[in-house]
């Protein structure tokens, strides 16, 4: 579902750490041996700060994953100009 959402530039909905999240998926890959994705959280809840904001999510901790019928335009600029490091990037939004 993550790969489909990145390719089609569709927003995801899921629960993570007890909070509902609405996220634009940008990078799917492996970091420290764990499948994760980096997304720009646009709505929902979070215990780690205000939104919107970049967040990294472990696939194994996500629940109720759904692709919404809401598109996003593509890449967003990150404050540093580059995304965080990965052991392996599988797919990046264009």
pTM of the model: 0.90
Structure tokens at 2: 């993550």
Q: How confident is the model at residue 77 (pLDDT cuts 50, 70, 90)?
A: confident
- Residue 58 dihedral angles phi and psi, to the nearest 5°: -80, 130
Q: Is 18 helix (H, G, I), strand (E, B) or coil?
A: coil
Would you say 37 and 57 are in contact if contact means Cβ atoms under 8 Å apart?
yes
- Digit-coded pLDDT (tens) for 79-92: 654 567 899 999 99
Q: Is 8 helix (H, G, I), strand (E, B) or coil?
A: helix
For residues 9-28, one letter each, b for 16 or more C-beta atoms within 10 angstroms of the residue's C-beta and e for the rest, the string is bbbbbbebeeeebbbbbbbb
């Amino acid at each position: 579902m993550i790969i489909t959402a990145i390719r089609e530039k569709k927003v995801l909905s899921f629960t993570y750490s007890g909070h509902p999240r609405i996220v634009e998926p940008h990078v799917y890959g492996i970091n420290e041996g764990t499948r994760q994705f980096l997304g720009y959280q646009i709505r929902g809840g979070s215990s780690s700060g205000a939104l919107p904001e970049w967040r990294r999510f472990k696939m194994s901790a996500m629940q109720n994953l759904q692709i919404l019928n809401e598109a996003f335009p593509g890449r967003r600029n990150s404050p540093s100009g580059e995304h965080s490091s990965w052991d392996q990037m599988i797919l990046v939004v264009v």
